[in-house]
Chains A and B, each alone.
Chain A
């Protein structure tokens, strides 16, 4: 196992990362100057509505962007070294050994014609150089670890339930003992009970094995359960970043506040979910200034013209003109 304690700095540093998608000659910016750090073993949630750029951020970090994507600024450093995220072949040694991914909808993410044990054993053979026998043995161990009897390894993906398949994905993600797992809405297609079980499993395993986690979801309550920290994304930008406790207790960004208010809370007897009024922004023609201003209940004059920078605020960071600490009056230094 990789001992991450010897690395004093961050495991992952994302620095000013922007990604554009080209489609039929039109280019649209999916994520815009994203910056954050992740410590070894830390679990951070990435939350935002559909199209806010969560998957794009995750795929950029894993070097798995689709061919029509272009990294237009910034870089990603892993243990202090720059990752060649725009170079497929150069990323190969890094993949799965260091960063693995649990995709949404394991039905399609697993190859339908291979037995699951073979799919879990594959990276062990190819990346760790195990023999077929060793790899199969390890695959069975991993299956047991995620709560699937080893003899079910002979099954094909379609013979398993949705929850079981997602467990297989998790076992597969653990195969090469990575230091970072990215979960892209790993529980979206599952029922609530299975969802809770899978999240519990993922949370337990990663803290036991000291693996960092980036958990993508648009459900804040999921984050509350198994993350230390949460980053809120809106229209391709991080708008707030803080510990889970802090953000739930004291959300600073108006969008975060609305998100938290929209979580149904049976305890407080609040039944009516209040959706956030207005439409998600158009990426090709993003609103000027703060992209949230057309929907923001606290919008001010400056909001439509000036982009609020993501500044330190208390323990975390927030990008909103309501919360500007004085030393950051010079707007968006690294624009």
Chain B
């Protein structure tokens, strides 16, 4: 379990971070995951510089469903767009959705879990009942019905915060339906933290509940939240890809899942256009594997529950 530090001095903290990094980076999985992740993040950060603006059916230049060549490294799609171009732009969309959904999920999960654990009694009972529901009902199933209904209510026209409405709805819905596991972990951790003396001391010193939670409990939850966060991202990518594949994405801002959906509709599989469906799939696989590997390594670093014997 995490060390019960009250407040780090600058030097202790630096040393703690150094020890942590040393241990974390000692895992082969963490190295591989980080490497892939950095690659994709860089790609997602500057798609226009790397491959030019997103191609559309109108400004597409290639042949239809042409296999990879010197000109189109990953071939073309059914309207002649460059698959590399699509996949690089897809990285930006897929990663943004997954990361933002994770932020929402972590914020909701931490808030719910910390509140339930800290206040206990009926607050705990009811919040946990709510958590139970989201724990049992998979994010995918909830998102599958909530997304189209919300879109119907909102209309599918204008963009929200730079997202096409369906993407915005998908990311909010994924975030709002995938926090239950985080909430449970945070709650049980909070339960043990609040018994610690430093919390009592803060209470005696007159800190408000809110400031105790934010200043004293939250910092000690960071390891748990981080390890789970990485796994939540992997889950979010999975759900987003599946929903987009079923047609809930937006062709104007195609994520990897939407590209796979387009490939499916164009009959890429039966046409043998492996490059078209292969490229986005490999990206999904690589990115979510990276997050899983990083999450596992974080978990192993923070909770060395395995015995010393190999």
Contact = CB atoms under 8 A, between A and B. Distances in A.
Note whether A and B contact each other (Cβ less than 8 A). yes
Interface of A: 23, 66-68
A165 B309 CA distance: 27
Contacts of B310: 67-68
A274 to B, nearest CB: 31
6 contacts: A23-B308, A66-B309, A67-B309, A67-B310, A68-B309, A68-B310
Contacts of A23: 308
Contacts of B309: 66-68
B28 to A, nearest CB: 16
Nearest to B307: A66
Nearest to A22: B310
Contacts of A68: 309-310
Interface in B54-106: none
Q: Main SS of chain A's interface residues?
A: loop
A221 B107 CA distance: 57
Interface of B: 308-310
B103 to A, nearest CB: 38
Nearest to A66: B309
A202 B105 CA distance: 57
A96 to B, nearest CB: 23
A38 B308 CA distance: 33
A120 to B, nearest CB: 28
B278 to A, nearest CB: 42
A76 B309 CA distance: 25
Contacts of A66: 309
A68 B308 CA distance: 10
A68 B307 CA distance: 12
A333 to B, nearest CB: 35
A69 to B, nearest CB: 9
A67 B308 CA distance: 11
A15 to B, nearest CB: 27
The 5 closest A-B pairs by CB, nearest first: A66-B309, A68-B309, A23-B308, A67-B309, A68-B310
A11 B309 CA distance: 32
A39 B310 CA distance: 37
A8 B30 CA distance: 62
A105 to B, nearest CB: 15
Contacts of B308: 23
A68 B50 CA distance: 52
A22 to B, nearest CB: 9
Contacts of A67: 309-310
A67 B310 CA distance: 8
A68 B310 CA distance: 8
A273 B309 CA distance: 36
Nearest to A24: B308
A213 to B, nearest CB: 28
A250 B309 CA distance: 41
B300 to A, nearest CB: 15
A66 B309 CA distance: 8
A278 B308 CA distance: 27
A23 B310 CA distance: 9
A234 to B, nearest CB: 24
B304 to A, nearest CB: 13
A23 B308 CA distance: 8
Nearest to B310: A68
A67 to B, nearest CB: 6
A66 B310 CA distance: 10
A306 to B, nearest CB: 34
A67 B309 CA distance: 8
A23 B307 CA distance: 12
A166 B65 CA distance: 73
A23 B309 CA distance: 8
A2 to B, nearest CB: 34
A19 to B, nearest CB: 14
A135 B12 CA distance: 60
Nearest to A69: B309
A134 to B, nearest CB: 37
Nearest to A67: B309
Nearest to B308: A23
A309 B159 CA distance: 86
A210 to B, nearest CB: 36
B26 to A, nearest CB: 11
B309 to A, nearest CB: 5
B23 to A, nearest CB: 13
B27 to A, nearest CB: 15
B22 to A, nearest CB: 14
A179 B256 CA distance: 69
A97 B310 CA distance: 30
B53 to A, nearest CB: 53
A261 to B, nearest CB: 35
A273 B308 CA distance: 34
A129 B310 CA distance: 35
A325 B70 CA distance: 91
B119 to A, nearest CB: 32
A51 to B, nearest CB: 14
